[in-house]
Chain A
Amino acid sequence: MNIHTYEKFWLIGAMVLIVAFIATVTYGAAGLGIAMVDDEGGTIAPDEIGDHDKFGDPGVHQVGENEYDVYVHAYTFGYSPDTIEIPENSEVTFYVTSSDVTHSFTVVGTNVNTMVIPGEIAEITAQFDEPEEYGILCNEYCGFGHHDMEAELHVVPETEFDLTELAVDAPDEVDTDDQAQVTASVTNGMLEDLDTTVTLEIGNETVEEDVTVAGDSSEDVTFAVDASTLGDGDHDWTVTVDDYTESDQLTVGTDDDGDSDDGDTTEEE
Chain B
Amino acid sequence: MSTYVDNFPEEAAIVRKAFYTSFVFLALGGVFGLIQTLHRTDFLRFMDSADYYTVLTAHGVFLVIAFTIFFLVGVFTWAVTTSLDRGLEDLRLTKLWFGLMSAGGLAAAITILSGFVGDAPILGALDADVLFTFYTPLEAHPLFYIGLVVFVIGTWVAGADWIRTWWSWRKDNPNERIPLPTFMVITTMIMWYIATLGVAIAIIVFILPWSLGLVESVNPLLTRTLFWYFGHPVVYFWLMPAYMMWYLLLPKLAGGRLFSDPLARVVFVLFLLLSTPVGIHHQYLDPGISEGFKFIAMTNTMFLLLPSFLTAFTVVASMEHGARQNGGTGYLSWLGALPWRDPAFTGMALAGLMFAAGGFSGMVNAGMNINYLVHNSLWVPGHFHLTVGTAVALTFMAGAYWFLPQLTGNKLWSRPLAVGQTVIWFIGMSFMSNAMHRAGLIGMPRRTAEPQYENFGFDAGVGSVAELDAQIALGGALLTVSLLLFFVVIAMTAFNGDSDYTESNSIPTPLSGPEDAPQVLDNLKLWTILAIVLVIIAYSLPLASIIDGRGLFGPGIEPFDPIPFSVVSTTLELTAEHVTGVIR
Contacts and interface: CB of A to CB of B under 8 A. Distances in A.
B445 A121 contact: no
Interface stretch (A110-118, A156-164, A256-264): A110-118
Interface string A13-50: 11101100110110011000011111101010111000
Interface in A81-123: 100-102, 104, 106, 108-109, 111-123
Given A29-B369, A36-B284, A119 B446 contact: no
A119 B219 CA distance: 8
* Chain B contact patch, size range: 35 or more
A108 B545 contact: no
Contacts of B310: 7, 10-11, 14
Nearest to A27: B369
A143 interface: yes
A143 B562 contact: yes
Contacts of B567: 144
A140 B376 contact: yes
B210 to A, nearest CB: 14
A43 B367 contact: no
Contacts of A10: 309-310, 313
B448 A114 contact: no
Contacts of A4: 259-260, 317
B445 A139 contact: yes
B52 to A, nearest CB: 8
Contacts of A123: 287
B285 A36 contact: yes
A14 B287 contact: no
Given A1-B262, A29-B295, A117-B220, A47 B556 contact: yes
Given A29-B369, A147-B448, A37 B456 contact: no
Interface stretch (A58-66, A129-137, A165-173): A129-137
Nearest to A44: B555
B530 interface: no
Contact of B289 (A11, A21, A38, A108): A38
A101 B558 CA distance: 9
Contact of B443 (A108, A116, A152): A108
A111 B220 CA distance: 24
Contact of B138 (A121, A133, A143, A152): A143
Given A7-B263, A17-B305, A152-B456, A25 B369 contact: yes
A102 B133 CA distance: 12
Nearest to A23: B302
Contacts of B290: 38-39
A18 B259 CA distance: 24
B456 A150 contact: yes
Contact of A106 (B135, B302, B443, B518): B443
Contact of B557 (A41, A46, A76, A150): A46
A143 B129 CA distance: 8
A39 B376 contact: no
Contacts of B455: 135, 150, 152
B562 A108 contact: no
Contact of B370 (A28, A140, A147): A28
B367 A24 contact: yes
B554 interface: yes
Contacts of B451: 147
A41 B367 CA distance: 23
8 contacts: A14-B305, A37-B286, A43-B549, A109-B442, A119-B219, A119-B221, A120-B287, A150-B455
Interface of A: 1-4, 6-7, 10-11, 13-15, 17-18, 21-22, 24-25, 28-29, 34-39, 41, 43, 45-47, 76, 100-102, 104, 106, 108-109, 111-123, 133-135, 137-148, 150, 152
Interface of B: 49-50, 53, 129, 131, 135, 137-138, 219-221, 224, 259-260, 262-263, 283-291, 294-295, 298-299, 302-303, 305-306, 309-310, 313-314, 317, 363, 366-370, 372-373, 375-377, 442-443, 445-451, 453-459, 512, 516-518, 545, 549-550, 554-557, 560-564, 567-568
